[in-house]
Chains A and B, each alone.
Chain A
Amino acid sequence: MVRAMVFSPQDAAGALRDIEAAQARSAKLHGYARSAPQLLLWGVLWVIGYGLNDFFPAYSGAIWGAVVPIGLIAGFAALRGTGHDIGWCYGAVALTLIAFFAAVFLVLWPINPRQQAALIPLGVAAAYVIIGIWRGPRYVATGIAVAALTLTGFFLLKQHFFLWMAGVGGASLILAGIWLKRA
Chain B
Amino acid sequence: MATLRAIPAGESIEFARLKAILQATDGNLGSHIATLEGAGYITVSKDFVGKKPRTRVALTRSGRKAFAQHIEFLRTILDAAASRHE
Is B6's CB under 8 angstroms from A30's CB? yes
Size of the chain B interface, CB-CB below 8 angstroms: 31
Chain A residues with Cβ below 8 Å from B69 are: 1
Of the residues B4, B21, B70, B75, contact of A29 by C-beta under 8 Å = B21
Identify the B interface with A (CB < 8 A): 2-14, 17, 20-21, 49, 56, 58, 66-67, 69-71, 73-75, 77-78, 80-81
Knowing A16-B71, A16-B75, the reply to whether A22 touches B66 (Cβ < 8 A) is: no
Is A22's CB under 8 angstroms from B2's CB? yes
Chain B residues with Cβ below 8 Å from A30 are: 6-7, 13, 17, 21
Is A83's CB under 8 angstroms from B56's CB? yes
A18 to B, closest residue via Cβ:
B2
Q: Beyond A23-B3, A27-B7, A30-B7: 18 further Cβ-contacts under 8 Å? A: A1-B66, A1-B69, A3-B73, A9-B77, A11-B77, A19-B74, A23-B6, A26-B2, A26-B6, A26-B21, A29-B20, A30-B21, A33-B17, A83-B11, A83-B13, A83-B14, A84-B11, A85-B9
Is B3's CB under 8 angstroms from A12's CB? no
For the complex, is A158 an interface residue (Cβ under 8 Å from B)? no
Shortest B62–chain A CB gap in Å is 11
A182 to B, closest residue via Cβ:
B20
Chain B residues with Cβ below 8 Å from A8 are: 77
Chain A residues with Cβ below 8 Å from B9 are: 85
Size of the chain A interface, CB-CB below 8 angstroms: 27
Knowing A12-B77, A16-B78, the reply to whether A2 touches B17 (Cβ < 8 A) is: no
Within 8 A of B (CB), among A1-45: 1-3, 7-9, 11-13, 15-16, 18-19, 22-27, 29-30, 33
Is A26's CB under 8 angstroms from B74's CB? no
User: In the assembly, what is the distance between CA of A141 and CA of B84, in Å?
Assistant: 47
Is A16's CB under 8 angstroms from B74's CB? yes
B12 to A, closest residue via Cβ:
A83
Chain B residues with Cβ below 8 Å from A12 are: 74-75, 77-78, 81
A181 to B, closest residue via Cβ:
B17
